[in-house]
Amino acid sequence: MTNTKSSSDMQTGYAARRKAINTLVYVILAIMVVIWIFPIVWLVIQSLRGEPGISTSYFFPKQWTFDNYIRLFVEYDDQGNALAWSEMRFPFAQWFINTLVIAIFSCIISTLFILMVSYALSRLRFKSRKTFLNLGLILGMFPGFMSMAATYNIMEILGLKQQLFALVIVYSAGAGLGYQVSKGFFDTIPRSLDEAAKIDGATRNQIFWQIILPLSKPIIVYTALTTFIGPWTDYIFVSYFMKDNQMNYTVACGLYSMLGNQTISDYFTTFCAGAVLIAIPITILFVIMQRYYVAGVTGGAVKG
């Protein structure tokens, strides 16, 4: 009887401790969520603020307006006529189109490069394969902006100075070095599929396009999302390559130009509106593709 009571007390004490620990964990997580989401809420509120200036002494605006969003796409001259994009001080619509075009083409080319390189390294055995794997890993540790000066000179020699196509080349040319996660995913696909296809007379090219890729939707989505985000958010390369060619800016570079000493007071709330708009497409993509993204990451982490 004593043993039964003691066991019951131990279980009660264990349950109480576990409940206390879970409560503490949830409180910490709730605090972290508030800290993480506060800048986003603040940005949205500032984008709807009707009062001009960089900041106010109060958190919620006294005047709410969508004019900051409208101002991104439409500006008027002194006579009330709408200005063309090329005449606007900050042509956000042109920047958005530039960013979208660059991101889409870079995403397609980079995804193909990464998947093909990853499949080759996963399935083929050739001389210096391990050396290439190690070299690719080492090169991936260096930030890309270290090559900006050399890359800019190469683009200038090729006659692509300050052109959008040059940015597509820059973002996608070295994408094959990002093979690590995709290779790990391909390693999890049984080699027996390749061998069976070879027996049926399929070529290596047919195996890759018709058998392996249809089974690799998670890693394709993961690779496409990661290669899309880079050009979509990049500032460094655009600011260096485009210099003062404002019409060829991307959104990241264009929005930053609003924060100059002479314009920040008038355009800060407009900048916040632009930051909100540029975040919407990538957020929607992540929400829709989240399950494939997670499956691609976990699948690529199984084997190296």
Instruction: Assess if residue 60 is contained within a domain.
Output: yes
Statement to judge: residues 277 and 168 lie in one domain? yes
Kindly report the backbone phi and psi dihedral angles of residue 45, in degrees, each rounded to the nearest multiple of 5, phi listed first: -65, -45
Please say whether the beta carbons of 223 and 114 come within 8 A. Answer: yes
Mean pLDDT value across the chain: 84
CATH of the domain at 167: 1.10.3720.10
Domain ends where: 28, 44, 73? 73
- The pLDDT tens digits for 230-262 are 899 899 889 888 887 888 899 999 999 998 888
What is the C-alpha radius of gyration for the chain, rounded to an integer number of angstroms?
Answer: 26
**CA-to-CA separations, 113 to 48, 204, 223, 233, 240, in angstroms, rounded:** 42, 16, 10, 21, 25
Instruction: Assess if residue 82 is contained within a domain.
Output: no
- The pLDDT tens digits for 55-100 are 788 888 888 999 999 999 988 777 777 778 778 888 999 999 999 9
Q: Which two tokens stand for residue 68?
A: 């900051």
pLDDT of residue 127: 83
Statement to judge: residues 23 and 166 lie in one domain? no
Statement to judge: residues 207 and 270 lie in one domain? yes
Instruction: Assess if residue 78 is contained within a domain.
Output: no
Statement to judge: residues 17 and 119 lie in one domain? no
Please say whether the beta carbons of 69 and 96 come within 8 A. Answer: no
Is residue 301 scored above 50 in pLDDT? no
Statement to judge: residues 193 and 266 lie in one domain? yes
Instruction: Assess if residue 150 is contained within a domain.
Output: yes
- The pLDDT tens digits for 144-165 are 778 888 888 888 888 888 888 9
pLDDT of residue 292: 65
DSSP for residue 128: T
Confidence band (pLDDT; 50, 70, 90) for 180? confident
Statement to judge: residues 68 and 122 lie in one domain? no
Is residue 229 scored above 80 in pLDDT? yes
pTM over 0.95: no
Instruction: Assess if residue 86 is contained within a domain.
Output: no
DSSP class per residue in 130-186: HHHHHHHHHHTTS-GGGGHHHHHHHHHHTT-TT-HHHHHHHHHHTGGG--HHHHHHH
Tokens 């009062």 belong to: 51
Statement to judge: residues 150 and 103 lie in one domain? yes
* Residue range(s) defining the domain that contains residue 18: 2-73
Confidence band (pLDDT; 50, 70, 90) for 300? very low
**With 0-12 CB in 10 A as exposed, 13-18 as middle and 19+ as buried, what is 234?**
buried
Instruction: Assess if residue 85 is contained within a domain.
Output: no
Instruction: Assess if residue 80 is contained within a domain.
Output: no
Domain count, the chain: 2
Statement to judge: residues 62 and 164 lie in one domain? no
Statement to judge: residues 158 and 61 lie in one domain? no
CA distance 65 to 57: 18
Statement to judge: residues 112 and 260 lie in one domain? yes
Domain ends where: 73, 99, 126? 73
Rounded to an integer, the average pLDDT of 90-119 is 92
Higher pLDDT, 118 or 80: 118
